[in-house]
Structures are given as C-alpha cells and as structure tokens.
Structure 1
C-alpha cells in the first residue's frame, strides 16, 4: 500500500496492497431506500463521484444498481472508471453461503463483478470460513479487492494467522470523536487501508468550537472541514446522503488543506466514542436480533424493490 498523498479531486486514489487503485472519497447509501439510492447514485456520478458503497444489509442494492445502470447508459461514466463496494450480510456467513450469495448482490447491482467485497461484521465462529470464501471469489475474478468491516485488532490478527490473503481494507467508524488509533496503527503496519464510515460522526462533532474556528478560517462549513480531516488523515471517506446539494457540498474539499496545527487540534477531539447504535450489538454474533433479521432476508431482486 502506497503512502497517502495530498488529494486533488474526486478522481484521486490510493493504491491498495494488491495494486488496485481505490478512490479516496465516495458516496455511502446506508438508510436510503431503493428509489432514494438510485437518484443519489445517479446524481453522485453526474457530479464526478467514482466510488459507491452499499451492502446487502442496507436493502438498497437494487436501487444502487439502477442508478449505476442509468449513469452508464447516459454516458456519465464507464464501468472501468467506477468503484463499487458491497458487503457480506451476517446471515450469509460461511463458505458455501458466501460463495453462493454474491450472485444475488451482483444481480441486484446489475454488475458482472464487484470492485470491493467486505465482510460486513465479524460474526464470531464463522468469519474465518467466510474469509476463505472471499479469497476464492477473488481468485475467480468475481471481485477485484477483498476486505473486512468493523474488525478490531484481535479479529484482524486471526485473519492474518488463518487466511492466505491480507485484507486490503478495513472499513470502520472514523470521525474526529472516534479515530480508531490502535486499529489504524495495526492496519498501517500490515498494509491494510482504513476506510471510514460515519465520517461526520452522525453530526456530533460539527458543533465543536475547534471545528467551527477552523471552518471560519478557511471559509468552509464544519462538515467540509471534518471531511477534509478524514481524507487528510489517510482514511478513505464515504459520507452518506441522498440530497444532491449535500453531496456536492461534501465533495467541495479539494481547494484547501488543513495545516499540521489544525490537524493536531482536530485529532485532539478524539474521545474513542462510537456515534451510532452498534455497541449494543456486542461483537456481532448471529444470535442477536440484528443478526437474526439479516438471516431472514430473501435474495430475490424483487424483494429489494420497496
């Protein structure tokens, strides 16, 4: 994995540990229904985005696929310019399940391959087997890059010991108040690129006076300063929105840079506190309500058309 370089625009990339170039900024679509996801994806690609992040768990792969198909048909982008991520749902863990269920994801997305496929949550007792399935999907050309999401250092160590391929990406919560210092240091040591979901901390950091003062100095919004901090920290960043104006604003972070002093000031806001609900999920076992719900989800594309 190459060292992070100062970024210039939405086409900027970082080279992963298998040599694939991944955009450092993209669109997340968590909590969007299919119609909203379709429109957001189309608008994002129209405005220069090149990376879209979804998951079977989100229930909107069909909408994302429609947005991509429209953009391709209208000539906004070509497939080789696009980087699409999806994730293995909790109920799809295990070698046979993972190997089979990717076909539903590809069908819903209207794609022949994924650019990045992640284990969404480390379901204990199954994630090593699931990782072996991802390794074989990678070798078969179904995916260009494989990685994980929401893995701590211990579970990354397990994969490094028992797997054959080092994960290229670990997608975790990253924002000024949750900076994953231990995991990021471990990832850097082993050539694993960190990608950050909830880069704005669910809005919790935008009212901080440190952020506000830096935003005023640069004539930017607090959100733009936070997103610049995320990217400048070397973290691939995927803010979620379904509003066209907001996705344009989110991407307007390439005409300024934070100084070392400003970066240090924002780094000092780290509370090691997660902004969202998932601590109640424990370490993501399939015996929780969340895990059981995903196991019940069908795979027919029609079942994702709500």
Structure 2
C-alpha cells in the first residue's frame, strides 16, 4: 500500500494548533516523515499545506515523495457535497491530489454550507438555545459511490474508511466498485482490535492505527487520565529497557510489528524523531504477547460516549 516502509509511520495532525502546525509539518518532513494524516475536521489544513509547500520549495522532498491523507467530514456525506468538500481540502492543502481520502465517521450529518462555518464540527447550530447534532438520511453506499467518482477524476489516488466496524466492512466490500484501500481505526495495547484486524487482512484491506499510544492522545482534552497511560505499564517499561528505547517507541513498534501503519502526533522535534525510529529493533514474541495481553477492549474515541457528553446527542456506532 505505502511506497516505502518509512511511510508506515505517519504524523497525525489531530489537535495540532494552527500556530504550531506549519512548523511541525516542515520539521517532520525534514526529520524524515513522508506520511501526513490530516482532516477537514482538524481545522488546520491551510497550515499543513504551508508546511508542505515550504518543505517542497526548500528541496527537502517532492510531492511524489509524500503520502498525504485527508478525510471527508460527516456533514458532506451527500453525493453532491463530496467533491466540493475534497476541493476545499485540496485548496487548503495547496495540492492537486490526495494519496488517500477517507470517510471520517460512518455518521451522516446535516449539511452546513462552507460559508456558514468551516470546519462545521459536530453541532448543527452551536448558537442554538439547545445545540445538538442533526443527522441526514444519506446511506453510506451513496457516499462511497461519490468517493469512487473522485478516483475516476484523478483527484485522489485511493479511498478508504475510518471508524468502521466489522459489519460495515462486510457491507462495504459487497457494494464497492473500487475496493477500500485503507481502514483507519483506534488501536493500541488497551484496544488491540484483533478480530477486526484479522477481518481486514482476510479482505485484503490495509490498516492504519490512530491514537496508537492510547491515552496519550486524550489526556489533554479530558477524555482520559494519565493513570491510563500504557507507556507506564511494566510490560512496556521492561521491553524499553531491554532494547534501550523509549516506552513510546516500544508501543509504536508493537503496532508496526503487528502489520499496520501508525500515526502518532507530536510537535516536539525530539519525539518526532523517536517516533519515526522504529525499524532498528524488533520486539521478541514474548514481549509482543505481553503487551497484547494488556488488552481491555477500551476505546478512548467513541461517539457513543463523547457525542452524548459533549454534543447533547446519542450517537453510538459501536455496540
């Protein structure tokens, strides 16, 4: 799927502030990153584009060296909104095409015009007396057909999905004219997703893990506590000591060794370099099994929880 082994480690751009984003992208490319994971909903695609443009202008890379992913937001699921949403993303990023475009969530929400609010986020009208999410009656197969049309146009090289469960994957491969090129889901030692990984492998669909360090992605937004950090577990610390690497490197290596790509987020140059340096050591089978044994089937990113708490709307996508 990816052009190089190096691209199996990407820079996740969720929660990277606009002020830091362009420099973070530029520094990541300078360090050696060739895979950037963006999204309309992150609200920083213009700044991502600035970092990419500076790196290309300075001769660090060519566009063809990079793998750039973005995602279709929930409010643009209707077929007539899919291409305009992509065009806005491409304009913000300053690109002519994406390597990969993903359906961000299997949730269709009511359309919000670009001029009203962009990115539209979760509330349909955040200024309403009782703001809520508003859903749209758009079947996922219609959204996928519009995504396929983007491939036909050459605007995207590959298409895929995020946050799909096994049933949705089975359904998708039965109606897809163009097979999904990627499944991106939350995977870390507290949520190993082994059954879903096996299914994706059986269907020939590559996988990318978001939030591969688990709680580390969620502490700053009060969706996890530091006590839930997997990098403090004895199984991880022992492996880090044995291989003279950091606990974060152990957890990321565990993911890469399981056969999928990882997209950790950082703006710290030291951590950026460490997160990319995963191919000079391997975990033993015993270490892999010990870390996998930490599984709690615990999701940090679950609309069934955060949509009710933050957006006053019951919106489960996992049972």
Same structural fold, with TM-score higher than 0.5 when normalized by the shorter chain = yes
RMSD: 2.1
CA shift digits 1:84-122 (9 cap, x unpaired): 000000111111101221110000000000000000000
Q: 1:161 matched to which residue of 2?
A: 174
C-alpha contact 1:177 1:201 (8 A) present in aligned 2: yes
Which residue among 261, 267, 285 is the counterpart of 1:260? 285
Confirm whether residue 85 of structure 1 aligns to residue 85 of structure 2. no
Which residue among 172, 177, 183 is the counterpart of 2:185? 172
Confirm whether residue 223 of structure 1 aligns to residue 207 of structure 2. no
SS at match of 1:206: helix
Range with greater deviation from structure 2 (105-114 or 212-221): 212-221
Assess, with a 3 A threshold, how the Cα gap between structure 1 residues 60 and 289 changes in structure 2: closer, same or farther: farther
Q: How far apart are residue 176 of structure 1 and its match?
A: 0.8
Assess, with a 3 A threshold, how the Cα gap between structure 1 residues 137 and 24 changes in structure 2: closer, same or farther: same
Q: 1:5 matched to which residue of 2?
A: none
Q: 1:59 matched to which residue of 2?
A: 43
C-alpha contact 1:55 1:61 (8 A) present in aligned 2: yes
Range with greater deviation from structure 2 (83-92 or 196-205): 196-205
Structure 1: segments with no counterpart, 5+ residues: 3-9, 14-22, 291-306
C-alpha contact 1:202 1:276 (8 A) present in aligned 2: no
Structure 2: segments with no counterpart, 5+ residues: 109-137, 217-228
Equivalent-residue separation in structure 2 for 1:27 and 1:248 (angstroms): 11
SS at match of 1:32: coil
Which residue among 24, 33, 36 is the counterpart of 1:49? 33
Which residue among 208, 211, 214 is the counterpart of 1:198? 211
Equivalent-residue separation in structure 2 for 1:194 and 1:88 (angstroms): 18
CA shift digits 1:167-193 (9 cap, x unpaired): 110100011111111211110110001
C-alpha contact 2:304 2:314 (8 A) present in aligned 1: no
C-alpha contact 1:11 1:49 (8 A) present in aligned 2: no
C-alpha contact 2:186 2:301 (8 A) present in aligned 1: no
C-alpha contact 1:29 1:242 (8 A) present in aligned 2: no
C-alpha contact 1:224 1:250 (8 A) present in aligned 2: yes
Task: Give the TM-score, by structure 2 length.
Answer: 0.81
Assess, with a 3 A threshold, how the Cα gap between structure 1 residues 87 and 197 changes in structure 2: closer, same or farther: same
SS at match of 1:144: strand
Which 4+ runs in 1 deviate beyond 6 A? none
Q: 1:25 matched to which residue of 2?
A: 9
Range with greater deviation from structure 2 (251-260 or 77-86): 251-260
Q: 2:59 matched to which residue of 1?
A: 75
Equivalent-residue separation in structure 2 for 1:92 and 1:289 (angstroms): 20
Q: How far apart are residue 277 of structure 1 and its match?
A: 5.3
Equivalent-residue separation in structure 2 for 1:161 and 1:287 (angstroms): 34
Aligned residues: 272
Q: 1:299 matched to which residue of 2?
A: none
Q: How far apart are residue 275 of structure 1 and its match?
A: 2.5
SS at match of 2:230: coil
Q: 2:158 matched to which residue of 1?
A: 145
Q: 2:236 matched to which residue of 1?
A: 211
